[in-house]
């Protein structure tokens, strides 16, 4: 089975071209993504044919769960198509990609004939509790649903975290800090937030610090992958940043644009790392 290792802003993926919908891709993702016994990656991307778009993308997290959406994964798939796909796609300025979360648009900017930036649509953010999903304690022992919530204070261990919730096809909880994010105990608190009882389907967790109206620094604890767009959307919803903002992550910078109403666009680099052959057929 031929594969390509590809990364975008530090999120790395193994990409496979296939039309096989019957294979247990979840099980294969666990083996392939293992960083000690496999290729090592945050997720497995399947590039598949589509009846409604130019291509179809399915993406499986390293734990085998199928992700609803992933902006970095989408940009990586588009980079692959531009470099290795049919000649008709080479030099394309726009592509449509079918995903579990819906059809997404990719826009390509070229410099000297080479793709310099890939901007992808992540759809319209959702803030309803049922869409995230999240349930909040009401002071008793039971959990109650909420219609929407920005800035809910949750106790996690000895920490009180002011969490902002949003769904971009997958759930996110964002905490804004006044201190550098490098000092935040993400590896200790991240798993506890991810598996907190308020998140019936677990969640991605981001800690962020607003540096200016145009820049945010962030770190991400991922249920799957993603996070930059969720940080930008919640920051804008709270009036902290402008409608275009740079998110500085440990793996690089990403650009997020949102008009406060419609679709979010995520831009940045994506690069192929190496190719190889995994034992077995596809």
Q: Does domain 129-260 have CATH number 2.60.40.1080?
A: no
**pLDDT tens-digit map of 101-149:** 889 999 887 655 565 678 999 889 999 888 889 998 766 556 677 666 6
Contact at 8 Å (CB) between 113 and 120? no
Query: Which tokens go with 151?
Result: 């800035």
Give the pairing of strands 244-249 and 215-221.
parallel
* Distance, CA of 174 to CA of 206 (rounded, Å): 5
* CATH superfamily assigned to domain 2-121+268-276: Diaminopimelate Epimerase; Chain A, domain 1 (3.10.310.10)
Q: Where do the domains of the chain lie?
A: 2-121+268-276, 129-260
Cα–Cα distances in angstroms (integers) from residue 23 to residues 18, 19, 27, 70, 74, in the given order: 10, 10, 9, 22, 22
**Average pLDDT score over residue span 3-23:** 93
Lowest mean pLDDT among 60-74, 75-89, 229-243: 75-89
**pLDDT tens-digit map of 223-278:** 545 689 999 999 999 999 999 999 999 888 999 999 999 999 999 888 899 999 99
Q: What are residue 143's DSSP bridge partners?
A: 137
Residues for the chain: how many in total?
282
């Amino acid at each position: 089975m031929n594969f390509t290792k590809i990364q975008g802003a530090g999120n790395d993926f193994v990409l496979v071209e296939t039309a096989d919908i019957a294979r247990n891709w979840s099980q294969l993702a666990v083996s392939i993504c293992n960083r000690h016994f496999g290729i090592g990656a945050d997720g497995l991307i399947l590039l598949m044919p589509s009846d409604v778009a130019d291509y179809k993308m399915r993406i499986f997290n390293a734990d085998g769960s199928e992700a609803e959406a992933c902006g970095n994964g989408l940009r990586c798939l588009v980079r692959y198509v531009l470099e290795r796909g049919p000649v008709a796609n080479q030099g394309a300025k726009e592509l449509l990609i079918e995903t579990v979360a819906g059809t997404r648009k990719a826009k390509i900017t070229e410099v000297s004939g080479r793709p310099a930036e890939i901007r992808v649509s992540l759809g319209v953010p959702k803030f309803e509790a049922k869409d995230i999903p999240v349930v909040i304690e009401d002071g008793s022992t039971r959990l109650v649903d909420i219609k929407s919530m920005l800035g809910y204070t949750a106790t996690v261990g000895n920490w009180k975290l002011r969490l902002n919730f949003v769904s971009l096809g997958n759930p996110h909880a964002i905490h804004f800090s006044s201190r550098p994010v490098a000092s935040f105990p993400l590896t200790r608190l991240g798993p506890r937030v991810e598996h907190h009882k308020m998140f019936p389907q677990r969640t991605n967790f981001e800690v962020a610090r607003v540096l200016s109206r145009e820049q945010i620094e962030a770190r991400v604890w991922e249920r799957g992958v993603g996070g930059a767009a969720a940080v930008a959307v919640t920051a804008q919803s709270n009036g902290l940043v402008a409608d275009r903002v740079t998110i500085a992550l440990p793996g690089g910078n990403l650009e997020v644009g949102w008009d406060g109403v419609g679709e979010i666009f995520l831009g940045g680099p994506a690069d192929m790392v190496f190719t190889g052959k995994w034992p077995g057929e596809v």
